[in-house]
Structure 1
């Protein structure tokens, strides 16, 4: 089936249902002294829900989202949603952008014009394909086991090569998107011009025995961090079906589960709204709510532990950005990353956190353009 245009169109009944559920929220009793260190801040969450119900205009936001060129590709019965933003200069470089959890293609919207514009600085522009992973808004939801990162990598490669006709392409990813692109680099390195990603995992099995002093300190920090910051992942990997009904039935449960991650993982020194924008946060929440992706996306963690890769080094030239304000894990030293990647560019980000295309699109776009300039 050929690629087909797509427009977001949420039925009126679904919007009314959301409003009814928000109106009928059963809030927990107050608990003095609780704040973000205890989970989702109750005062912020209540204000966000009031905004969602009374000031946030979905139809207005839907129209803005539809200004982008949304497409759907059917690949072996799996619908893959993507935004296709064409480069404005000569010989644009094809670039696959992939998000992670609990985000969506919304993460990429601000960076698109910075990547497609033509500049006179010797850097390339890009034909950007901002794709949605399976289990996320408008891409098919897996209805059983088997949709791990390796399968996603195959689908995304086929989207770029077979459906869109790009024999080779650049790739940029964060979180799960970065893990999918790592699988592309290991399975079909000849398809990639280069890889651009944020951060690396601190985990390794077996742990190397020749760690540098910087790596020893990094692992010490990771051992302190992991029990505190990976609880959500352990739940989603081991017991996703316990959580799924709450995320499907209650928009406030969805908001609470998601927003705490944005606050903790983002560069929120000036506040959550300052980092992400309240309406843009609600765009992401609304898309997950209306499509049911809030529950579907957490199941990916279950698939991830069933689909462990064999340790291997990515030899594709790789640029790694290290956000200093990403609380998902401590900043890694370069030598740790070089164990897993052919690191050709290393950038420390003073601004931005776990969702850098959203938080600091200018910084990320400039780094992408500078890195891929060497290949054109």
Structure 2
């Protein structure tokens, strides 16, 4: 458990930037210096069009929309409707959304985002999880923290805020809210942190749901089905050929951070590239994701100047998951077909010892709460219902 800060207060938080900051953003967008077009320009619609990164024409369109039409105030209002708070844990301010369910039978749930995501990933699903229209659906007291260095959470001034410390801070956060037992969900870094929660705090965590199953390293492909072997090969190829962003942020987060904090177009391109490559789309992320949802996320990074501080989670935690960590609490795992890492079930079972529900979605990628929100909510409910049922039987 993290050491208690003398001030354990949980304070109401309001996200509200000045008009000057929004005017400054629009002025920077208007004055942007853009490179020439990619040399694969003219390629037919499809992944090849993005072979060198975000195409110039696509970026121009989003920059113009961001400058002239996007409404940040609408996003601020949505955050306020859900409820925002901050508390200080180990000298660091932790920002979080908190929506208590009106249902007496609701279960506390902590949802953890990843990179290049943020709490913006969960804004569309919190209400349906907390107060479902269907009285027969499980309900949750939803807590969605901003990772250290992300959004309105504080920026660590020293090293040490890696996945283990974050998981311990989440346990402390839930205790301050009166939630001494809870379930946890996450994907990307949030999935890794959720795995640590389940493995390190079985007395507090009733069970977990993750879209990013974590196999121990070095497992053989012997015995895998052809489909499972293909998953393993795709994941290996992702880390070998498509992970330059992770290597950069793991080794030189400060260097890339200057561009991300100084240039809104640079920040947009760095993040939009991942929404395009990692979503279940063919030619553009906007086939399934609205420009507004992506710009909510990018603008949050911009206004909080968190491009560098968020990147540092890679230098803190890349390859840091304890290979010996085992998760004995019930686990529900969902794999989306266009996600970046797809863990074969036999491998997942080597770490997650009580998988009570395994699902392979028909569509969706790395950002399912934004790409397929209806399916995401239904799947999360069913997964956590299975987890809670198993926890009660134990």
Taking structure 2 as the reference length, the TM-score comes to 0.89
Would you say 1:367 and 2:374 are equivalent positions?
A: no
Deviations 1:282-331 (A, max 9, x none): 111111001011221111100014844242221111000000122x13x3
Query: What is the deviation of 1:200?
Result: 2.5
Q: Which residue of 2 aligns with 1:135?
A: 149
Would you say 1:265 and 2:278 are equivalent positions?
A: yes
Q: Which residue of 1 aligns with 2:126?
A: 112
Equivalents in 1 of 2:111, 2:253: separation in Å? 26
Equivalents in 2 of 1:306, 1:173: separation in Å? 18
Equivalents in 2 of 1:200, 1:64: separation in Å? 31
Query: What is the deviation of 1:243?
Result: 0.5
Deviations 1:92-124 (A, max 9, x none): 100001100001001001111221124556432
Would you say 1:315 and 2:328 are equivalent positions?
A: yes
Q: Is contact 2:103-2:131 (8 Å) kept?
A: yes
Which of 24, 32, 37 is residue 17 of structure 1 equivalent to?
24
- Provide closer, same or farther for how the CA distance between residues 315 and 28 of structure 1 changes in structure 2, counting only shifts above 3 A: same
Q: Which residue of 2 aligns with 1:61?
A: 75
Equivalents in 2 of 1:90, 1:236: separation in Å? 43
Query: What is the deviation of 1:201?
Result: 4.5
Would you say 1:38 and 2:52 are equivalent positions?
A: yes
Which of 194, 201, 215 is residue 207 of structure 2 equivalent to?
194
Secondary structure of the structure 1 residue equivalent to 2:142:
strand
- Provide closer, same or farther for how the CA distance between residues 355 and 217 of structure 1 changes in structure 2, counting only shifts above 3 A: closer
Deviations 1:241-300 (A, max 9, x none): 220100011000000000000011112247322322111111111110010112211111
Pairs within 5 Å for 1:201-280? 201=214, 204-208=216-220, 211-214=223-226, 215-269=228-282, 271-280=284-293
Equivalents in 2 of 1:216, 1:316: separation in Å? 27
Which of 190, 193, 200 is residue 177 of structure 1 equivalent to?
190
- Provide closer, same or farther for how the CA distance between residues 313 and 199 of structure 1 changes in structure 2, counting only shifts above 3 A: same
Equivalents in 1 of 2:267, 2:334: separation in Å? 29
Query: What is the deviation of 1:15?
Result: 1.3
Aligned length: 372
Q: Is contact 1:197-1:319 (8 Å) kept?
A: yes
Aligned-residue CA RMSD in angstroms?
2.0
Q: Which residue of 2 aligns with 1:339?
A: 350
Query: What is the deviation of 1:62?
Result: 2.4
Equivalents in 1 of 2:86, 2:303: separation in Å? 18
Secondary structure of the structure 2 residue equivalent to 1:97:
strand
Deviations 1:4-41 (A, max 9, x none): 11111112221122112111111112334343121112
Unaligned segments of structure 1, at least 5 residues: none
Query: What is the deviation of 1:66?
Result: 2.2
Would you say 1:287 and 2:300 are equivalent positions?
A: yes
Equivalents in 1 of 2:39, 2:233: separation in Å? 34
Q: Is contact 1:276-1:359 (8 Å) kept?
A: yes
Q: Is contact 1:119-1:125 (8 Å) kept?
A: no
Equivalents in 2 of 1:259, 1:344: separation in Å? 35
Taking structure 1 as the reference length, the TM-score comes to 0.93
Q: Which residue of 2 aligns with 1:149?
A: 163
- Provide closer, same or farther for how the CA distance between residues 360 and 188 of structure 1 changes in structure 2, counting only shifts above 3 A: same
Equivalents in 2 of 1:61, 1:131: separation in Å? 17
Q: Is contact 1:148-1:306 (8 Å) kept?
A: no
Q: Is contact 1:114-1:362 (8 Å) kept?
A: no
Q: Is contact 1:88-1:118 (8 Å) kept?
A: no
Query: What is the deviation of 1:351?
Result: 2.0
